[in-house]
Each structure stands twice: as C-alpha cells, then as structure tokens.
Amino acid sequence: MNEALGLSALSANDLTVAQVGLRAVIVYFALIIFVRVGKKRFLGQATAFDAVLIILIGSVASRAVSGTAPFLASLAATLCFIVVHWIVSYFAQSSSALSFLVKGHDTVLMTNGRVDQSALRAAHMSSDDLEEDLRQQGIKKHTQVEEARLERSGKLSVIRK
C-alpha cells in the first residue's frame, strides 16, 4: 500500500500519475464518509461557519491528493475539521451566544413594505440588490412585503402580506 500511494515519495514531483489517481480515489471516498459523519447541514444553505469548513476541507484534502503534505496527516486534519465543526454546531444549537458567534444573525431589511435603509447599509446591500432579490421571489412592489430578512446564509427570505 505504501508503494501504491507513494507514501515514501520524497516530494510531490516523485509521485506517478497512478499514485496521484489512487490518492484521488481514496480521498474522494474518505470525504464521502467524513461528510456523512459531519451531517448534511454544512452542504445546504451555508453560513460563513459552513463555508469556512468547505474551504478548509478542499484545501487540506487537495494536499493529500497532490502529495504536497503527508497523505494520512492530511486526511486526519480533514476529519478533525469536520469533527470540530460538528461539535461546535452541536453546542451552538443550544447556545444562542455561540450560534451568534459562529453563524451570525439575520437582518430585517423590510417591514410592512418599508425598506430599512440603515439595515441595508449595514448589510452592504444596495437597493438594486434588494430589488433583484424581491423580483426573484415574484414580488414587484414593496407593498406586497410584510417582512424581508437577509438570513445568515446570505439569502433573502420574504413574508408576503
């Protein structure tokens, strides 16, 4: 197995195409298992908390494939990121302070058809962005909106009148 994966290669340049291919297959299946351990949530409507995990997984797992970091250590680090994410999300579900810290909060942008300009500025969102998001939900006039919130995922949710 050591030879097949090129675990004793001195550098990434010493890996053969077959070794990189086998590493890719193993990392692929390992990540499927790891994601199943980590639950489905972080692959859905991602918050910044989830997006950071996705970036880290991609970065570290790619090093296992390319050989720029030790293979097993890279897989272990990837699994550790997912386990830590799972633990933090587990405790965040019962702690609003921790949830706010790692996931952020939603922002009310509209109430009873009126746009809160200060909330829009705080969200770094233009009026054109808001109009576009409303149109994508089939809303032509502000008077149709009871409430619009910019959710933690960055998606606009709207309650119609």
Strand order across the beta sheet in which 114-115 lies: 114-115, 107-111, 145-150, 156-160
Q: What is the mean pLDDT of residues 116-141?
A: 93
For the residues of 17-29, what is the DSSP string, one character each? HHHHHHHHHHHHH
Looking at the chain, the domain(s) classified CATH 3.30.240.20 span: 105-160
pLDDT band at 45 (very low <50, low <70, confident <90, very high): low
pTM for this structure?
0.69
Two tokens, residue 57? 């997984």
* pLDDT value, residue 52: 85
Q: What is the dotted CATH code of the domain comprising 105-160?
A: 3.30.240.20
H helices of 14-149, in order, are 17-38, 48-66, 71-92, 96-103, 117-122, 127-136
Is 100 or 6 the better-scoring residue by pLDDT? Answer: 100
pLDDT tens digit sequence for 89-104 = 889 889 999 988 888 8
The β-bridge partners of 145 are 160
Is 152 or 130 the better-scoring residue by pLDDT? Answer: 130
Q: Of 3-7, 80-84, 123-127, 149-153, where does mean pLDDT reach its minimum? A: 3-7
